[in-house]
Chain A
Amino acid sequence: MKRASPTRQRLAALGLLGIPLLTYPLIALPEGTLLGIPASYVYLFGVWAGLIALAALVAERKGK
């Protein structure tokens, strides 16, 4: 029997992690501004970019 590949499992785990990070109530947490840019804006794009970077890291890793 084939087992799900570790890469796919890691990606799915990232997706599950993303759900609480990108919904209420967490996204309403950051307040104020950062370098003149609203913290909520920075938070959303920051978390999003972080997820993408991690996904790229997991997906493009060779071998194993």
Chain B
Amino acid sequence: MLAGWFVALLSAAYLALLFAVARFGDARADGGRSIISANVYALSLAVYCTSWTFFGSVGRATSGGLSFLTIYLGPTLMLLCVTVIVKMIRISKAYRITSIADFIASRYGKSQLLAGMVTVIAVIGVVPYIALQLKAVAASLDVLFEQSGHAVFFWGLDSTFLIALVLALFTILFGTRHLDATERHEGMVAAVAFESVVKLVAFMAVGLFVTYGMFGGLSDLFGKAMASPELGRLLQHDQARAGTWTSLIVLSGLAIILLPRQFQIIVVENVDESHLKRAVWMFPLYLLLINIFVLPLAIGGLLHFSGQGVNPDTFVLTLPLARGAEALALLAFIGGLSAATGMVIVETIALSTMVCNDLAMPLLLRSRWLQAARRQDLSGLLIGIRRAAIVLILLLGYIYFRAAGEAYALVGIGLISFSAVAQFAPVLFGGMYWKQATHAGATAGLLAGFAVWLYTLLLPSFAKSGWIGSGFVEQGLFGIEWLRAQALFGLSGMDEISHCLWWSMLANIACYVVVSLNSTPDAMEASQAERFVDILRHGRRDADARLWRGKTSLGAVVELLERFLGANRAHQQLAIYAAGRGYADWQTLPADAEFVHFAETELAGAIGSASARVMVSSVVQEEDLGLEEVLDILDEATQVRAYSRELEAKQRELEAATAELRAANERLRELDRMKDDFISTVTHELRTPLTSIRALSEMLHEDPRTELTDRKRFLGIIVNEAERLTRLINQILDMAKLESGRAEWTTGDVDIGEVVRESMDSLGQLFREKGVLLAGDFPEHGPVVQADRDRLMQVMINLLSNAVKFVPGDGGRVRVDVGCQGGLVRVVVSDNGPGLTAEECSVIFEKFRQGGNTLTDKPKGTGLGLPISRQIVEYFGGNLWAESRPGEGACFIFTVPLPAPEK
């Protein structure tokens, strides 16, 4: 048996538990150990799932089939636009934005008018949504008590009214306990995350119970549904409703950001941007889980209660009760209660902040009473206003419920709210990406959109319940046919939500864009536009300080802070700020532009940016900057940024050029050193033969009595040495020509086989003299290449004469092979001489380096032959190298590319 007192006690216990969670969250935040992790943040987003989701989705599914899902698909897609949300969070953090009204007003020149308008639209728009929660809780209580047979025990008072009062009281205790109004509500976020878990568990439990306890699982349920034509329709998509489907996705996608409570949770309460990365998939996952059993519950309810007239919005409760599962029904009731309280708490806190900052404050600031009480601490007053606003908003919700609530199902009421907040979309997103958007344009757009919404959606909802006449809906205003509220200009055949969305967005966007393009922003608007649109691009401080010019005293500004923040908190913030700027004591701070900017931002956190602007300008003598001047400063800032970027690029180029120069210099030094080495080596090489020629000539000159035979021998040596000298000089000249690229080449078709044979013939005598066997394996007419015949001959002769120098006399063998391989002619000269070490194989190609031991043996060549040969071969695109191992003979190989085959 569900006794009334027991339900009341259970509800009270649940609310107390919530309270404890919030206290715990607040205590942790005060202790500096925030419990807001990425997971908590993601779960707190599920404040989106209200009684609408918990009770209303099932009701919606009984009439619209799968279309209830659109309300959850939209947010899934919208959240994936992380870039947009991150930009909103950055802007809000930089300028201490506290609500969506503040955000929009701040963008369009900190306008009080715009802030007030957004607040009014938000309050009027969201009131039906709050009514929905009241209605859902009232209905769920009715179901429980009806079951238990108890009379409603509310002393004649309307139960919904009592629920509204209890929720108001709870929200006041819950969300506005703090005297400092600027803090984030970490406790609230923790409690909301906790509630999200409760409602998910409760709903899944009921879903599992109905699907598997009352029926035989999903396939059984769907099977029964498809057997009946009426239920089978729910499982089919109706192509005719494609428009509704799309517009609901758009609407819910916008609502996930624009509903005041969602803005509060996603943007204002965000502790760390990186938490979004978790939310981007975890929140949609939550939505998916809570929706899996909606359709089964709807079908189950329709099957079970067919023809009994049970309200489908209460199936979540009535189904378990029908099976006597009272504990489960209580769990479902608590789940529904948590869905409602979560929404009401966050929504009313967000709205009360807006009402306080953007409606009450501007009025108060103008009142004489406040002027008289200048010295008073106002932070208490702020809290008082917020509490009154909470009560007021819940009462409005109750009034709407009485006026129109009975005529609509839960989801119908919620969609009216969604359409209202969707009006913020053009102004908000346009403001973030379009600098030309002006205050006048935003005002016009909002007014137009709101007016259309009022006429096509809100007023007809009153008319539907008979509260006001329905003439304008049925016959049109003043009887004019094309002014019918839900078929404006004859646009019919749509559902009322799509109809409203279409016309209101058309009016909104058209007015916003056209008026923006035809108006000029004032100085404040232009600078705010710049700051908002470019928030991700540059550090915001650079132009901020220069955009303010005026005189003030530290005392006046500090007094202002104390009045609105409370003395303690003001001093605390001042101390932190002073420390950040490197001052030991905040009383020594200069009253400069930066300080005023700081004070205004702090105030904005407490009373909204528009009111903060007014208050700050009341205590400082500001010099008005004209629009031209502001634009100049902003342009200058942009130019300075562009210049600095250019400078950076130039610097990078310079660094690269310097590095190149350094490398080139290094290379030049190396070359210089090599040249010095070369010259000293050449000199040395030249001097050796010269010395012997001179010595012998002197001997002949000084001693005329030298024997004829000696004379002949000496002269022979002199001739030989002179020849060697000539050869050396020729080669050096050759080398120099090759290296400087001034060598003369006569390129033509050269038959390699012929060259090899000729060079072997011309050296044949030398080989025979030394008794060395010269053999070869090459075709008569070998491959033909493009080269200089004489030069190739020079290479060949050089290789052969090298070989004959190093092989032992009598028994030495030299062999020449010619072959073609992979587009290259390959000539190999191999011998059976002493061989070379691996190191020598590369060293011998350096100038003046010779094989063998040059210290003990007489040099056998000039040391230039191989370097010259290598240069020649490389000139023709080939390669020359040696392969050898000590004691196994040496192999000199050169390649010359074959001409490309003709096509």
Where the two chains meet, the residues of A that have a C-beta atom closer than 8 Å to any C-beta of B are: 1-2, 4, 7-9, 11-12, 14-15, 18-19, 22-25, 27-28, 33, 35-38, 40-41, 44-45, 48-49, 51-53, 55-56, 59-60
Interface centre among B66, B237, B292 (most CB of A within 10 A): B237
- Is there an interface contact between B222 and A33, defined as CB atoms closer than 8 Å? yes
Instruction: Evaluate contact between B83 and A12: CB separation under 8 angstroms.
Output: yes
The one of A41, A49, A55 that contacts B80, using a Cβ cutoff of 8 Å? A55
| B691 interfacial by beta-carbon distance below 8 Å | no
Is the Cβ of B246 less than 8 Å from the Cβ of A24?
A: yes
Contact of B242 with A by CB under 8 A: yes
Q: Which residues of B contact A7 (CB under 8 A)?
A: 82, 277
Is B887 located at the chain interface by the 8 A CB criterion? Answer: no
8 A-B interface contacts by CB (under 8 A): A1-B645, A11-B81, A15-B78, A18-B73, A22-B73, A24-B239, A48-B73, A48-B284
C-beta contact mask, B57-87 vs A, less than 8 Å → 1, else 0?
Answer: 0000000001001000100111011110010
Q: Which of B77, B226, B284, B292 contacts A19 (CB 8 A)?
A: B77
Q: Is B701 interfacial (CB-CB < 8 Å)?
A: no
Instruction: Name the residue of chain B whose CB is nearest to the CB of A34.
Output: B219
Q: How far, in whole Å, are A8 and B236 apart by their CA atoms in the complex?
A: 35
Known: A8-B83, A11-B82. A23 touches B249 (CB 8 A): yes
The secondary-structure label for the interface of chain B is helix
Tell me, in angstroms, the Cα distance from A15 to B83 when the chains sit together. Answer: 12
CB-CB nearest in chain A for B645: A1
Contact of A37 among B69, B222, B246 (CB under 8 A): B222
A1 and B537 within 8 A (CB): yes
CB pair A18 B77 closer than 8 Å: yes
Partner of B81, one of A15, A22, A23, A28: A15
Residue B882 interfacial (CB < 8 Å): no
* A15 adjacent to B77 (CB under 8 Å): yes
Known: A12-B81, A24-B246. Is A48-B239 also a contact (CB below 8 A)? no
B246 touches A41 (CB 8 A): no
The distance in angstroms between the C-alpha atoms of A27 and B236, with both chains bound, is 10
Give every chain A residue within 8 A of B277 (Cβ-Cβ).
7, 59-60
B66 touches A44 (CB 8 A): yes
A9 to B245, CA, bound (A): 27
Closest to A23 in B: B246
Contact of A28 among B239, B280, B285, B292 (CB under 8 A): B239
Cβ of A8: which chain B residues have Cβ within 8 Å of it?
82-83, 86
Q: By the criterion CB–CB under 8 Å, are A11 and B66 in contact?
A: no
Please provide the 6 A-B residue pairs with the shortest distance between their CB atoms, ordered closest to farther: A36-B219, A15-B80, A24-B242, A56-B281, A55-B281, A28-B237
- Mark each residue of chain B from 278 to 291: 1 if its CB lies under 8 Å from any CB of chain A, else 0: 10111011001000
Most buried by B among A2, A23, A25, A35: A23
Q: Number of residues in B with C-beta < 8 Å to the partner?
A: 38
Query: How close is A42's CB to chain B, nearest CB, in angstroms?
Result: 10
Contacts of A60 in B (CB 8 A): 277-278, 281
Distance in angstroms between the alpha carbons of A19 and B78 in the assembled complex: 10
**Binary interface encoding of chain B residues 329-341 relative to chain A, with 1 for a CB under 8 A from any of its CBs, else 0:** 0000000000000
Chain B contacts for A19, CB-based, 8 A: 77
B window 227-264: CB within 8 A of A? 235-237, 239, 242, 245-246, 249
| B536 interface residue (CB < 8 Å to A) | yes
| Cα–Cα distance between A28 and B65 once the two chains are bound (Å) | 13
Which residues of chain A are near B83, meaning CB under 8 Å?
A: 4, 8-9, 12
Which chain A residues border B236 with CB–CB below 8 Å? 40
Instruction: Give the shortest distance, in Å, between B789 (CB) and chain A (any CB).
Output: 61
Residue B647 interfacial (CB < 8 Å): no
Complex: how many Å from CA A23 to CA B236?
14
Determine how close the nearest CB of chain B comes to the CB of A5; give it in whole angstroms: 8
Residues of A within 8 A of B285 (CB): 52, 56
Provide the bound-state CA to CA distance between A64 and B83, in Å.
Answer: 17
Nearest Cβ distance between residue A37 and chain B, in whole angstroms?
5
Is B295 an interface residue when CB atoms closer than 8 A count as contact?
yes
The answer to whether B223 has its CB under 8 Å from any CB of chain A is yes
Q: Min CB distance, B638 to chain A, in Å?
A: 12
Chain A residues near B295 (CB-CB < 8 A): 41
Take A14-B80, A44-B69 as given contacts and tell me if A52 and B281 are in contact as well, using a CB distance cutoff of 8 Å: yes
Contact A48 B281 (CB under 8 A): no
- Interchain nearest-CB distance for A40 vs B (Å): 6
